[in-house]
Amino acid sequence: MQLTSQPAARNPGATAGRAGLSVAQQVRRSAREAGDDFDPEALTVMMMLYRAVAAVDRTHAAELAPYKLSLSQFQTLSVLHRVQEPVTMGELAELLSVRRANLTGLIDTLAQRSLVQRVLNPHDRRSFLVEITPAAEAFLADFLPRHWRFLKGLTSGLTTDELQQLGALLDRFQASMATASTAMPTVSVHDGQGAASPASMSRQGRASARATAS
């Protein structure tokens, strides 16, 4: 299947943000009601990360929109292109840093577009492997040179040393989060009067992330 470029709407990441409180203003307001455990630097960093991730998502969505590819789909094709061999769903999930359950629909969509294909696992006939197709390889051969220039433009405001420092800091931050997550106590949340259910907490978390990323 050939992927052709189609006219895309103006990059949503280039539009001006809605009027509102800056990160610093929001942090100061949070500090007024917080207790002794409140760390303004930690909240500032998390809010800036939310906004950076949202900006990356918007910018890449605009880049990929002409090809009707999502960022997750493009990342999947890129990973399969780099490994150059069929992989299990578990291996692919690990390479993409996502849950295996979240991959099924994504692979179904890419398979329907003839961009990936499932093949029998020679070591386990009860399972299958996923591999990239020649059509997807042809698309990447044409698209990736433009993508590398695109990424270079996105990071042009930083020097090589700054990019290396940012990469090292993000790597340390991921390690810090991994350590903290293993030390987190298990909290039981029950439905009932005055208690939030996991579903409502999840909705609140997503709403908070969208608010801080806008």
Domains of the chain in start order, with CATH, are: 38-177 (1.10.10.10)
CB 189 within 8 A of CB 195: yes
Rounded to an integer, what distance in angstroms lies between the CA atom of residue 49 and that of residue 154? 16
Ordered per-residue pLDDT tens for the chain, 214 residues: 557 665 444 443 343 345 577 877 787 777 777 777 788 888 888 888 999 999 999 999 999 999 999 999 999 999 999 999 999 999 999 999 898 888 999 999 999 999 999 999 988 888 899 999 999 999 999 999 999 999 999 999 999 999 999 999 999 998 998 888 887 766 555 544 544 444 444 444 444 444 433 3
Q: Are 116 and 133 in contact (CB under 8 A)?
A: yes
